[in-house]
Structure 1
């Protein structure tokens, strides 16, 4: 009886051990199976894109004039205020006319003498010396009147805007800077269409940037606008200290949306090139670092590739890497779920 009970116990233990071993094998078999991750891919192709140089710059007025007469005198009337738009030829300031009126009277008298000398000279009734003296006096007086007219009635030299006013009607202009002006002047005017900017470019682009090179200006004040312009001057020398050369850029400003002093980014278009451009969302960033990488399909597995970023084009970005080639399949959906070596299955 005891022997029978012992055999039953041993049989039960054997079955339990066998069951445990079988369960372990099944468990090992289950954990060894790795499910492929579904992803979407895009075949890499080179695209023809514009090569650009991006530089920041401050905008300046195309012309700026601190307007003042050549001689001191009392200000009769100032016809404009700060912020007024002006047209070329418009009367801006009128000075006291006393000196002009005296000069005009003198010119009239000398003109009479000149005409008389001219008639006498035709009949050879006047010496050459006397005739030359009459002509000289008349021409000097005429030049003086022209000079005083220009400095008595001060006209706008261009279309623009008044940016400063430093005197009031009836005050005496002394020829010194006054009222906050940085230079001796009664008013300050600026031509703001077009605007210009000076940019210092690296010498490596000296042969690429020429007069007429197209540019685009972007301003944070107008995120949805692009202002087109072109290079107007390329300065012919290179600064040996900074290894840069200077260019002047002109930006049309017909609606006067831009203003002198504004800050913006200027893109210089220096030709076209073929390069790999991909959706920006496909590029991943390593946490805690600035390293960027993408995943490509390599024989059914995800392969991680480190990349450098080039130019951005709206929702696309240029990839720079020796490890990617035209024709490679870039993972563009599901890349956040894979790691290097993960099996993948491509879905449509």
Structure 2
């Protein structure tokens, strides 16, 4: 929420060419959409790692009752493959395409979130079709957008905003062999000033490659910004030793590289502030996997989607505002949101306690993400 004196203005933000392929021209905001009055996080179904662990325990119990070998049964634990197609290729755009459809559409979910700024990954925008379906989504939400093709033709990162997008650029990360990028946009927030948003999605398998990608971001000497996207790395402080052991075992059983935490250690070492540290109480109570202190953002129950801010940023996270919002079947990742505030600057010689001059609601969402090509 953006406040200025006696008036209130809503602002929320959740995500290889030299510039984005297209930008939506300014259009009048639609006023026919009702805002959701609830600021809640929705319970998520149990995650695959916990389910796999519980199935393993069930098999052990059956073995004990039947007197069979535990070793034999453990090798046949039925768990789903972590490899999946990007949701954007199936039901992500269910509101406008035929094919798989969830009970809700991404348009409906984003209307309920009612964000003023969105950072999205795995977005489809066909230049030959006037950037549809991205342009349709932006138009229906009354937002402008910038888009950067990334991991596949016509798919990439996008930043949507209800406020004017003043500048934008695309930076390739790692090297010329890497198809991923970071989309950078400067948004002109009325009565508050500019806010710099970075939207990206790092490699979904190799932590060493993710380190190269995130390291490339610091070579650009960018101004203070807010980074939002699917970093696809884990934060060790989120998990207990037992939970971490379950995660490592599950990854090994699935043939996935061992999970690592180098990217998050690197960002924390650079002083980046994690929006998760500003979480509040949610209604209803958020379902969290046993052995971790945060709600997961993907089907494995782990947190791989983040909103982080440089310490020098003029915008600060609002305590109690961080939450994970269910994507309600439109994606295999969930939406992450947080509010930010821009405190008023007080002259150094003044002994008066600084008072916030403006408050900005920031929401970082990811429409689709998965293990083979995650988003969000």
TM-score by length of 1: 0.20
Higher strand share: 1
